[in-house]
Chain A
Amino acid sequence: MRGWFFSENAYHLLPDAKEYDSIRVKLPNRYYDPKIGADLYHRFIDEWQIAEEMGLEIMVNEHHQTATNLNPSGPVVMGVLARETRKARLLSLGNPIATRREPVRVAEEMAMVDVYSRGRLECGFVRGVPYEMSAGNHRPTRMMERFWEAHDLIVKAWTSHDGPFNWEGKYFHHRQVNIWPRPYQEPHPPIWITALSPSSAREVGARGYIVASFLTGFDGTRAVYDAYRGRRAELGLAPAGLDRFAYAALVYTGDTDEEGYAGARKLMWYLESNKVPPQFTSPPGYHPIANSVNAMKGSNPGIFKMFQNPTLPGLMENGLVFAGNPDSVYRQVKKMYDHVGGFGHLLMMGQAGFLDHDETVKGMEMFSREVYPRLKELSVR
C-alpha cells in the first residue's frame, strides 16, 4: 500500500459560523487576509516536502470559491511541487474536467507537470463537487457525458504525436489539436478517477483506471470497489490489482490513542466547518433523481451524511477517520482493507483547520515511521 499525504490548504481563520450561511460559494473574501494566506501557502508546500522526505507520496486537489480549500488551480500547486520535490509521485485529484471549459488546456497543463517532474505525475480527473456548480456557473445536468468527452479528448491529445487532429464533439470543438509539450510518461500519466457511487465506478472499472473513493466508509467503499470489479468481470477483463483502488480518509497518528484522537478532532474542522445551504449541496441534476427524492424525505444523499453532526467515535466507527496510536491506526486501516477486498492507496487528509505545523508533522512522522511499514506489507487474504 502506498500512503499519500493530502491537505486541502484551508483558510481557517473565519468569523463565527453564525455570521455566515455558507462557507462555500458566497463567503465574502474580505475575510481572507492575503498576508496570512501567503504564509499558509508556503507552510503547506513545506509540509508536502516533509511528506516526501518521510517517504510518502503527495496528493493535491482543487476547489473554488471556498475557505475550505485555497487551491482554485491544482495545476499551479503541482507546478510548484514538480520543482520543489524530487522523488514523490505527484497526484492531482483532480482536474474537474466535467466543468473545465478547455480540456486541451488541461492536457497541456498536466503534460507540463509531467515533464517538469520527470514523469512523476499521477493525473486525476473528477466531476467536481456540487458546490462548484454555482461557483463556476457550470450546468449540473448531463455532466458525465461531458466528463467522458473531455477525458477522451485529453487522452487523445496526450497520445497523438503526428501533428494536429480534429475534434468536433458534442461539447468541445478544436480543429487543430497538437499539444507541446507531450507527456513524459508513455503512453501517458496514470489516470485516477474519483467515484463515490457504484454507477460511476463501473465506468472507471471498464477502463481500468485507478478508482478513488472519498470518505465513503465501510459499505459505501465496498459497493464502489465491487461495482468496479463486477464491471470488469462482466466485460471479461482481467481482474484489477490492488493498485487500482484508493481510499481517502482523515488520518492522525499519535504516540498514544489520546494524542491521535486529539489530532483527529482538529482534522474534523474540515467536516464541522462545512456549513453549506441546500441550493449548493444539491444543485438540480447533480444527484440522481432517486437521491433527490430521498433528500426531500429527509435522508441526505451519499457524501453529505458525513457532515451531519460528526462525532469522532462515529466517524471512526464508520471508517471515515483513522486515528489513535500506531497500533490502533494500523488496525483501523486493516479493518477497512479487509472489509472492501483490499486497496493499494491510502489518501490521507493529514492537515485541516487548526492543526498547526508541528502537529501536522508529528502525525505524519508517526504514521510514516510506525504504521506505514506494516501497511506496505498488506496483501489480500
Chain B
Amino acid sequence: MLTVRGVVLEVVERGQGRPILWLHGEEGLDPQAPFLDLLAGAGRVTAPSHPGFGHSPESSTVDTVDDLAYLYLDLLAEQDRRDVIVIGASLGGWIAAEMAVRSTERIAGLVLVGALGIKVGDRETRDIPDIFALHPDEVVRLQYRDPARFVVDYTKKSDDELAIIARNREATALYAWEPYFHNPKLPQRLHRVTVPTLFLWGADDRFISAEYYGAAYRAAIPGSRLELVERAGHFPHLEQPEAVVERIRGFVRDRGT
C-alpha cells in the first residue's frame, strides 16, 4: 500500500531500470497476470490499483478521471520519478492521456493500449458500446478476440476474488458513467502531448476499432503512431502479453536510458 496525498493505493512494484507507470483499465489489476512479470523485464514497473479497484480503498475525494490524472502526477512527483514511460489500457489509457495533457515534466513517453477518453462520432453515434446496458456475456464477446478464454467461472473464485470483480465494476461506473468513457474537452487538449506516443490496438478489437477510434485518437496527438497487435481484442495485454511487452520494450529502447 502506498499513500499519495492522503489517498491509499494498492501498488505492485516489480523490475529494475527505466521507470514505468502501468495504469490498468476496467479489467483491474491482477498481480498474478503474466503481463506484469513480462513488463517488469522492460523496466521498473509501478502498477497501482485505482481507488475503488482491487484492494485500493475508495476515496471520497477521487471520483473522476481528472482526479486520477492528478493523483498519478502527484505520485510521480512524490516518488521523484523522472523520464517515466506511462502506459495505460482502455480506461487507464484515458487516465494516461489526461496526465500528459496536464504535464509531461516527468514523462518520457506514452503508450496507449486501446485507449478510451475521446468521442469521435456525433451525438447520436454510440462510439463505445454501453457496457452497462449490455448483457455481461455480450460485453465479454465484444472485448475479447477469444471470449471463451475470458468467461469468468464464478464458482471457481474465492469471495475475495468475487469482491474484487464487483469493486472493479463499481469503480468503472464511478469514473466512466457520464460522460461515458470520455472527456469532451480532451481532443482539443491532446496537442499538448509533446512526448513520443505509441498507440497499441488489438487488430480484432470489436469493442472500439483501430480504424475508427484509434485512428482519430492518433490523429489528435502530433507525431504519434499506431500499431496493431495481431490476434487480440480490446485488452491485448491479456490476450497477447508477449507481443504487447515486445512493442513496449522497443518503445522504451528508443527512448534511450
Question: Which residues on A are within 8 Å of B, measured CB to CB?
Answer: 25-26, 133-134, 137, 139-142, 277-280, 283-285, 289-290, 292-293, 296-298
Contact = CB atoms under 8 A, between A and B. Distances in A.
B151 interface: no
A289 B173 CA distance: 14
A53 to B, nearest CB: 44
A141 B178 contact: no
Contacts of A134: 130, 132-133
Given A292-B166, A293-B159, A142 B174 contact: yes
Contacts of B169: 284-285, 292
B136 interface: yes
Interface of B: 63, 130, 132-136, 154-155, 157, 159, 162-163, 165-167, 169-170, 172-174, 177-178
B166 A284 contact: yes
B155 A289 contact: no
B170 A285 contact: yes
B132 A279 contact: yes
**Interface majority SS on A: helix, strand, loop or mixed?**
loop
Contact of B136 (A25, A279, A285, A290): A279
Contact of B166 (A133, A277, A280, A296): A296
Nearest to B133: A134
Contact of A285 (B135, B159, B173): B173
Nearest to A290: B163
A147 to B, nearest CB: 16
A139 B163 contact: no
Nearest to A297: B154
Nearest to B154: A296
Of A137, A278, A280, chain B has the most CB atoms within 10 Å of the CB of A137
Contacts of A137: 177-178
B92 to A, nearest CB: 18
Contacts of B155: 297
B170 A278 contact: no
B136 A278 contact: yes
What 4 pairs across the A-B complex have the smallest Cβ distances? A284-B169, A292-B166, A139-B177, A285-B170
A137 B177 CA distance: 8
A289 B170 contact: yes
Nearest to B63: A142
23 contacts: A25-B133, A134-B133, A139-B173, A139-B177, A139-B178, A141-B173, A277-B135, A278-B135, A279-B134, A280-B133, A284-B166, A284-B170, A284-B172, A285-B169, A285-B170, A285-B173, A289-B163, A290-B163, A292-B169, A292-B170, A293-B163, A293-B166, A296-B165
